[in-house]
Structure 1
Amino acid sequence: MRLYLTALNPTDAVLHGFLPAASSLALPVTVLTDQPERWPSDVSVQGCVVREPAAVLTAVAGGEPPAALLSNSDHLQAATALAARRLGLPGKDPEVARRCKDKAAARRAVAEAGLDPVRIVVVEPGAVPVVAADIFPAVVKPREGVASEDAYLVADHRELAARVAEIRTRRPEVALLVEEYLAGEVRTHETLGDDADLVVLGGWRTGLGPPPTFTEESLDWAPPAVSETAQLRKQLDALGVRFGACHTEYVVQDGRVRLIEVNYRLIGDRMDLILAELLGVPLFEYVIRLHLGEPLAAFDLPTPNTVERHARVEYVCADRSGRLVTAPGQLDADVDGVRLGCRPLRTVGHTAEVTGTNRDYLAVLHAIGPADGTVRRTLTDFRAGLRWEIAG
């Protein structure tokens, strides 16, 4: 029996999370990908048009019998879920995965449940945006986008038209969504579920860079309050979210939880690995075991508010376009009981334009320790001793 993972480009979640987890479970893995040439030579990969369920089915049928089939990619959840269902394997509901990916459909599902209506306008490819003046300030973003890519805050019709034109120079085929701006501190809600239950793993408070983009620059461990969890559960129920891992972003306005988006997979940008370390659990193994058919009750998961540690994560972002000429390598340290880490996300010699998204990340730094203040001070001192230099 074999685990099949669908993926696009190599990610830390797969290379440092799922593959080691599968090895610890003595489960051989094949990565199905449409970019096999980009993967390390020591990873078993098979070329496949992974956005097409039929192609995934054909690839799996041609190999060892599948023990499980899963994906951690935003782009592949629906196709992978449909293929898993046709194979009779445990997995996500394909329609729920599709609904979460389509931000307009997700907004409609929550509004129809009478929970949190958010004003939206879909702008089809080539169409002129037609929105009411009182929707501003607003956010324009791809209807099926990921993270903060091509997401912009706009103040009026002029800014909206300019941003739509800019996005279309890169992605003319993409439908866009214009929605009212939800002001407030961005928070996250991390869950794990099986067909019968859903548990909260924890959450983070997110520090964003300056508008008009929405680049995440830092995250601090902050499990949701009970009142927030109850509201979030109702909204996730409206979407049908239950099985597997899910990462939800939201703000709180006057005590009311308002969803930003729901990503039906683990939190990304190495936060999944840091979350596993903070909780002290084999998180990636648990995700695989759910897809093997094990119940959530079999896992030893701590109650988030009882975790007697704090964690902070900071992303080092490129401040200009150019070539990275100086950067530290991978580092680990332990200072006064605080575990510190630096993980490069770009190698020396890498050249790129600044985008205002997580594509600008040069490295991720993290600290895990006994208290918020100690963690922050120690991470600040750690970062002060590191240097990144970009040649324009």
Structure 2
Amino acid sequence: MRLYLTALNPTDSVLDGFLPAAARLGLPVTVLTDQPDGWPPVVADVTGCDVRDARAVIDAIHHGPRPAAVLSNSDHLQTPTALAAEYLGLPGKDWRATLRCKDKRLTRRTLADAGLDTVATVTLGPDDDVAVAASLPFPAVVKPREGVASEDTYLVTDLAELTARVAEVRARRPEVSLVVEEYLAGELHTFDTLGDGSALAVTGGWHTTLGPPPSFVEESLDWSPALPAPVVADLRAQLDALGAGFGACHTEFVLQEGRARLIEVNYRLIGDRMDLILAELLEVPLFEYVIRVHLGESLAAMPLPDPNTVPRYVRVEYVCAGRSGTLVAAPGAIDLQLGDARVGCRPLRNVGTTSAVTGTNRDYLAVVHAVGADPEAVAVALRSFRASHRWDIA
């Protein structure tokens, strides 16, 4: 019996999370990927496969050892992976739910049809006239219909600015479909869950600080799981309407007049090493739990703490490239105790890499986090660490 893990490029979630977790469970892993040459040699079983096509995933599994589970932590691969799991009779996500979460127009339509929230939204196909969005309230947000990582996501103040942004995106990606929707103002939060298809547990929540508009780059996140009961009920109702109740789910929303208004639902673990930090904070084998629900186990067999009672605090900060160029100096992986907090730093870009500023989380150079008993101890440790380390771009 074997775990099949569908993926694109190698990520920390897979390399540092899922692969070690599967090894602890005694479960051999085959990584199915369309980029087999990009995976490090330490990943012993990597099979080339068109992982965006459910039929190719099914064929690859058919030619390998018997599957115990198939899962993915990639936004792009949730639907083909769910279809493959259903075809093979394995536990998995409902492919309709993965599609509703991935396609931002379907997300809005589903919630509106359920009477839970209505957001003014217009879809722009590759050849559609931008003028069809003229009736929307401004400011508005334009973004790819199936986008990730805040890529090509912009705040626009009027139709002229929207027209310019759409032209800019289409020049780079002429095939992309976009959505334009009213801007939802408010404090940005996350709602992270793990479900087995019947029960749903909240694994945490974060208060997110964004960089300056017009982009939506996450600069830092503070542990903030406490939410009013009506907000939690509202979030659960919206996830129920979408069908997002199996495996890991990362939901971003704003609090607006006591209501939870969804920004997007990423039907996988929180990313950019936040999943690994969350496992450290909760002191639970989070990646093992995700695998185990995909093996068909009940969530009741997996002890999870109430996030509101965790006696620790954490802040995460991303070191962002301020300009295009080559990273010529940066610290490596670091773990140390600074005062009353434990600090960790992990590179997200290798020294020597040349990149252009994108206005997305692809601009991250490193992630730095501190865990302590209270916000003050964490803040002091992070200031000390950042003051003594440099990231230089030439």
TM-score in terms of structure 2 length:
0.98
Cα separation, 1, equivalents of 2:119 and 2:391: 41
Cα shift at 1:133: 4.5
Cα separation, 2, equivalents of 1:102 and 1:262: 10
Q: Which amino acid aligns with 2:108?
A: R
Aligned residues of 2:6 and 2:32 also touching (Cα < 8 A): yes
Q: Which whole-Å deviations, capped at 9, do the CAs of 1:300-355 have from their partners, x for residues lacking one?
A: 10001000100000000000000011111111101233110110011111000001
Query: Residue 366 of structure 2 corresponds to which residue in structure 1?
Result: 363
Question: Residue 377 of structure 2 is aligned with which of 366, 374, 378?
Answer: 374
Alignment of 1:97-246 (within 5 A): 97-129=98-130, 130-225=132-227, 226-246=229-249
Gaps of at least 5 residues in structure 1 are none
Query: Residue 85 of structure 1 corresponds to which residue in structure 2?
Result: 86
Q: Work out whether 1:258 is the aligned partner of 2:230.
A: no
Cα separation, 1, equivalents of 2:349 and 2:148: 20
Cα separation, 1, equivalents of 2:350 and 2:147: 26
Question: Residue 341 of structure 1 is aligned with which of 344, 364, 385?
Answer: 344
Query: Residue 309 of structure 1 corresponds to which residue in structure 2?
Result: 312
The number of residues matched between the two structures is 391
Aligned residues of 1:133 and 1:157 also touching (Cα < 8 A): no
**1:6 partner SS:** strand
Change (3 A) 1:387 1:113: same
Query: Residue 42 of structure 1 corresponds to which residue in structure 2?
Result: 42
Q: Which whole-Å deviations, capped at 9, do the CAs of 1:67-89 have from their partners, x for residues lacking one?
A: 10000000000000000010000
Query: Residue 5 of structure 1 corresponds to which residue in structure 2?
Result: 5
Which piece of structure 1 moves more, 372-381 or 171-180?
372-381
Query: What's the C-alpha RMSD, in Å, of the aligned pairs?
Result: 0.8
**1:135 partner SS:** coil
**2:27 partner SS:** coil
Cα separation, 2, equivalents of 1:272 and 1:84: 23
Aligned residues of 1:33 and 1:47 also touching (Cα < 8 A): yes
Aligned residues of 1:206 and 1:220 also touching (Cα < 8 A): yes
- Percent identity of equivalent pairs: 67
Aligned residues of 1:13 and 1:273 also touching (Cα < 8 A): yes
Q: Work out whether 1:284 is the aligned partner of 2:267.
A: no
Q: Which whole-Å deviations, capped at 9, do the CAs of 1:261-307 have from their partners, x for residues lacking one?
A: 00000000000000000000000000000001100000010001000
Aligned residues of 2:205 and 2:224 also touching (Cα < 8 A): yes
**1:27 partner SS:** coil
TM-score in terms of structure 1 length:
0.99
Q: Work out whether 1:53 is the aligned partner of 2:93.
A: no
Aligned residues of 1:138 and 1:153 also touching (Cα < 8 A): yes
Cα separation, 1, equivalents of 2:135 and 2:159: 8
